[in-house]
Amino acid sequence: MCGIVGYVGYRDAKEVLLDKLARIEYRGHDGAGLAIRTVTGIEVYKKAGPLAGLAGELKLRSVRGMLGLGHTRWATHGAPDDRNAHPHASEDGAIVISHNGIIENFRPLKDRLAAQGHAFRSETDTEVLAHLIAEKYRGDLAGAVRAALAEVRGAYAVVVAHAEHEEIVAARSVSPLVIGVGDGEMFLASDVLALLPYTRRVVFLQDGDLVVLRSQGYDVTDLEGKPRARPPTLVDWSAEAAEKGDCDTFMLKEIHEQPRVLAHTIAGGLRGGAGEAWLDLRLDPSSIDRIQIIGCGTAYHAGLIGEHLIERLARVQVEVDIASEYRYRQPIVDERTLVIAISQSGETIDTIEALREAKRLGARTLGIINVQGSSMTREAHEVLYVHAGPEIGVASTKAYTAQLGALLLFALWLGRARGALSPARAAELSAELRDLPRVVDEALDPARVAEIERIAAKYRDARGWLFLGRGVNAPSAFEGALKLKELSYVYAEAHAAGEMKHGPISIIDDGLPVVVIATECPLLEKVLSNIQEVRARSGRIIALVSDGDTEAARHADDLIRLPRTDELLSPVVNAVALQLLAYHVASLLGRDVDKPRNLAKSVTVE
């Protein structure tokens, strides 16, 4: 959940490292630090709080060096203060280390080192590793790191430097780490976005890899010292794609990118006009008896919608699990089970571990992923990329709707392949799917957006919100509530509308905004009944309705009108409106929508 960067080459390391950290600042942090190798030794600068505080302090100092490490930290072991910020050093200051992840057995290691006379300055597990490497060091830095890691249990990405070596040593287990290959310089980062301004030639390190970086190249081995071939690949993202452009925030930019992203997601999966989906997957549809979908947060909500799509179009039984719970319920899995793992980053640790458990039990696996080369792309048997491009805003927007687009394609493909979906219905859905980018663009019409902003202003001071939806849009309500609370820090909850009378109705009063998804669907009459029940208890109703609706308008306080589309595609259009509502409420409350407090873009620790 932290950010790591490293550099060795011919440039001013301080400037390169600060720039790279700024590019992954969206991952969130509560402290930052740099370690620079200078002519007199290694100098460490670190500070709790935002990266800007550290950058401002370093502007006042003359620090010159061409090798260094940088880190942004989310506190796990120890308070978010200066002494616990990374990098950490050995007692003599010769060895410095930055680390993502958790060393599970740090306590016995620390006790043993303390008994040997080691004195610790921080509360972190990372400093324990720095002391352990120093204990093993005999002139060979890579050898010392290998020896230290042989005693460590846990998930980690570690980056180490020594005052006497013009090299960086790094290793990974579970937590991501990427090499950037330059000309006379080498880069290292936990996120490929940090590398884009400098190089597009990258190496995604794999579990058990240890790399030695020098300005002229790199060598990868396993943790026993045996060479591993890791040739560079070319990343097709550009540095410009990770900039705000003309928008005030990354989130707003990414909301407005959704028509283009959906067109990209859909284009590769539809061929001809006969309603046939084409996916480059080595899966035998006839061998799939059951599907399990796993994901966390927004990806879990995408999976819940995927359950509706697949069961209705392909007539295959689907179960959806929160990835962090999947391993612990002892799932029933066999070789005729397909497990679909959904993740924007491809690095979500709970989803990766659930995926590994599914494979261990004999399932075939499919990853629906945005980031190419990520850990999950190597773990899954098959991968369906969503092609959303870099998503910088912590709250997922375009990656979520792209995941829904990919799930629609998959359900269409599976339904036709299994003969569960008629050619006529498939052709109808394909036509609607091709038109979806235009429909989403229409939902982003300035007049519609202005109305959502007006509604946000009207209810900005509400102390809580309730979201309701039915059928395929019940998960849309869950996602709407999640977006609002993670961005605005205002409590919001969501329920399937049919559950309202089973508890949630007790909290409805004239101070509670109730967002009801009432776009056109076969269950609309039931949704309208729910609206009337809210109205009878003086709830303030904000209804999402299809253009031309007159019935919901009779009972709602405020309307968010959206262009019509097929019911199964409506969660995509509804998501855009709910994203805008959350965005504007949060903005009016003065929140940082790109970097909400306490949240990380990629959750890489359990």
Q: Are residues 291 and 331 located together in one domain of the fold?
A: yes
Span 566-581, pLDDT tens digits: 999 999 999 999 999 9
Q: How confident is the model at residue 605 (pLDDT cuts 50, 70, 90)?
A: low
| Confidence (pLDDT) at 199 | 95
Q: What is the mean pLDDT of residues 490-508?
A: 92
Q: Considering the candidates 2, 20, 296, 398, report the single residue annotated as catalytic.
A: 2
296: annotated active-site residue: no
Alpha-carbon Rg for the chain, nearest whole angstrom, is: 25
2: annotated active-site residue: yes
Is 369 inside any structural domain? yes
Distance CA 471, CA 218 (A): 53
Is 253 inside any structural domain? yes
Domain limit, last residue, from 387, 420, 441: 441
What's the token pair of residue 101? 């992840």
Among the ranges given (54-63, 273-282, 456-465), the one the predictor scored with the smallest mean pLDDT: 273-282
Q: Are residues 163 and 56 located together in one domain of the fold?
A: yes
Q: What's the pTM?
A: 0.86
Helices 423-443 and 258-267, interaxial angle, to 10°? 160
Is 600 inside any structural domain? no
- Cβ atoms of 11 and 66 within 8 Å: the answer is yes
| Confidence (pLDDT) at 31 | 86
Q: Are residues 339 and 400 located together in one domain of the fold?
A: yes
Q: Are residues 47 and 133 located together in one domain of the fold?
A: yes
Span 238-257, pLDDT tens digits: 766 767 778 889 999 999 99
Span 202-216, pLDDT tens digits: 999 999 999 999 999
269-272: long-range contacts, CB 8 A cutoff, minimum separation 24: 269/406, 269/409, 269/412, 269/413, 270/409, 270/430, 270/433, 270/434
pLDDT of 600 above 80:
no
Q: Are residues 254 and 400 located together in one domain of the fold?
A: yes
Distance CA 529, CA 606 (A): 42
Span 331-355, pLDDT tens digits: 999 999 999 999 999 999 999 999 9
What's the token pair of residue 560? 């968010």
Q: In degrees rounded to 5, what are phi and psi of residue 230? A: -135, 75
- Cβ atoms of 247 and 212 within 8 Å: the answer is no
Instruction: Report the DSSP beta bridge partners of residue 392.
Output: none
pLDDT of 312 above 70:
yes
**Angle CA 360–363–364, to nearest 5:** 120
Is 295 inside any structural domain? yes
Query: What's the domain count of the chain?
Result: 3
Q: What is the CATH number of the domain that holds 405?
A: 3.40.50.10490
Is 432 inside any structural domain? yes
Domain limit, last residue, from 186, 220, 241: 241
**Angle CA 119–174–147, to nearest 5:** 45
Q: Are residues 222 and 315 located together in one domain of the fold?
A: no
Span 423-446, pLDDT tens digits: 999 999 999 999 999 999 999 999
| Confidence (pLDDT) at 481 | 98
Q: Considering the candidates 20, 46, 110, 601, report the single residue annotated as catalytic.
A: 601
Is 397 inside any structural domain? yes
Coil, helix or strand at residue 440? helix
Average pLDDT taken over every residue of the chain = 93
| Confidence (pLDDT) at 278 | 84
Is 601 inside any structural domain? no
Tell me the residue range of the domain where 210 lies.
3-241
